[in-house]
Structures are given as C-alpha cells and as structure tokens.
Amino acid sequence: MTAERQIHNKCILVTGGAGFIGSNLIERLLLQNNQVVCLDNLLTGKIENIEPFLKNSHFSFIQGDIRDPKSCQKAVDGVDLVLHQAALGSVPRSINDPITTNDININGFLNMLAASRDAKVKRFVYAASSSTYGDNYTLPKMEENIGKPLSPYAITKYVNELYADVFSRLYGMETIGLRYFNVFGRRQDPQGAYAAVIPKFVKLLIDHESPVINGDGNFSRDFTYIDNVIQANELAATVQNEDALNTVYNVAYGENTTLNSLFDILKEELSHFDPEIVKVQKIHAPNREGDIPHSLASIAKAQKLLGYNPQFDSKTGLKEAVKWYWKNLK
C-alpha cells in the first residue's frame, strides 16, 4: 500500500481499541504520526494490549462504554475520523446472552453514530461481519447477496449496516462497513469460553493438549490475517471516490481453509519450536449451533473501489501469528 493511502496527521477515535483488532490499528496509526483516542470498557479488551501506548503523548485512553451516550460524546470530541471496532463478539455468546449482545452492538453502535454526527465527524468506518450472510450458502460471498441471520450476533451486525446507511442518507455522513472474515493474528486472546479458533488451537498445541474440532473438520473459513484488516481500514478511511462511500465491503483474503487443514498447518509451524507438538492429535465433537459449513469471500468490490490488495494469505499469516504466540504464550 502506498504512503498516500495511509492515515497521517489525523485525530482518530478507535472504539474497542483495547481489543485484538483495535489495538493493532492503534499501533499502526501511532507509527504514522496520528493522534489516537481509544474508547474501551475493558469488558473483553485488555489493558495489556494498549499498555505500550499509554506513555505516548499522541495517545489517550478513555475507559468508557459505548452504551453510555456521554462517553461516546467525550470520545468523539475533536476527532477527524472514527474507526469503530467496539462490539461484543462471538456467535455462541450471542446465543447464550442475546440481550447484552443487542445492547452493546446495536444501542452502542447507534450511540456512536449519533455522537459522531453531532460532533461533525466526516467519516465513520465500522467493523461489520461475515455473519451477515446468514443462510445464504452461495460461494463466494458477494456483498449484495445476503440471507437470513442465523444468530443474534448476526442480526446486530446487519442492523449496524442498516443504521449506517440511514445516517449516510439522512445526515450526510460518510460511512463504510468492513465485513470481516475470521480475522486472526497477534494479540488475539486464546483464553475464555468464546476464544476464536486459531489462538485457542495454538494455546492447546503449545500445552500438548488436543484441540476439539466441531464436526468432521471439513467446514472451511476464509481466515484473514490482521495486517490485511489494517490495510482495509486505512483504505476505507482515505478513499476519495464517492462511489466507494456509504457501502459495505468484504475484508478477507479470498481463499478458504478447512479446520482440518488449519490444525495441520498450526501443528507443522509450532513443531519448528517444539518437535513434540507433532504427536498431538485432534478430537472431533458435534457441529456447533449457528455455524455455517463454508465461508469464502469475493474481494472484487474492495479491490475495485478501495484498491484493496491483501498481502497475507492464510498460511503466510499463520506463520507470523505462530511466531508471535510462541514468544508471548510461553
């Protein structure tokens, strides 16, 4: 990505900035001479993720909740741009607790949109989700062709898109939604009941424990390395083509990997550090409620309108992620 399509010398709010994706965005933005405000309630985000930035004079942290309009208003004061990453993730968590998921992901999102409108923030880039495709099993997934949502989480992320579209039409805000596909990489938390599959598998393998794969392992996902996501956010934040605004884009690499292949790749990469990991076997369990069999994105729209050109396929990204986890989980 060329320098002119990076974000420089701006004041940017990153909501959910103490989370996995948000903290990686902050790290990049600070390297590019931006002033960065982080808003996070630390419900799922971690203070350790932003600890390296706390002494940086270009960084400020607001511990607040997007469900609180006053926190949102304080956070957007004086900012040029919002990168909205805050949400309560996880399909299974939303099935277990749909009310909290709705409260954070819809009410919180609306609070952030309204605060951004009132503060005259010109552009609002937000994390959307591949879960929006629901029961449309057509591959590859194309932005204009979605199905019925399969979980409360998916409903909330689709409602976000509807609200963003309405705010663009009614109030002249520039909004861009980025439908993330199975993002992974440094700082993604391996702990907890709702941990994502890659960090969870890595941690178990490092500990010589058997990962559990739901189903026969032939379900597949378009695993997307964090640096591709950072690129997409910067492109969405800086694009000037009016045709590229007020819409949504898939953010992925555009290839799918089965869970069985994922396990094999992780085992191979980790065995370079610990040969004993080769002996660890996987365990199969029943399919998980709300899961779709396959996910594969078309990235043609983002390539055409944003200039998106992801640099990391899943295997290259997994190599990088494994190096980071080995250093930080040992």
The catalytic residue positions are 153
CB 26 within 8 A of CB 53: yes
Q: How many Cβ atoms are within 10 Å of 174's Cβ, its own excluded?
A: 20
* C-alpha to C-alpha distances, 321 to 166, 188, 207, 217, 269, nearest whole angstrom: 38, 9, 17, 21, 10
Distance CA 164, CA 177 (A): 8
Cα angle 225, 230, 236 (rounded to 5 degrees) comes to 130
Torsions phi, psi for 264 (to 5 deg): -65, -45
Distance CA 271, CA 156 (A): 40
Of 311, 25, 37, 20, the closest CA to residue 191 belongs to 20
CB 284 within 8 A of CB 218: no
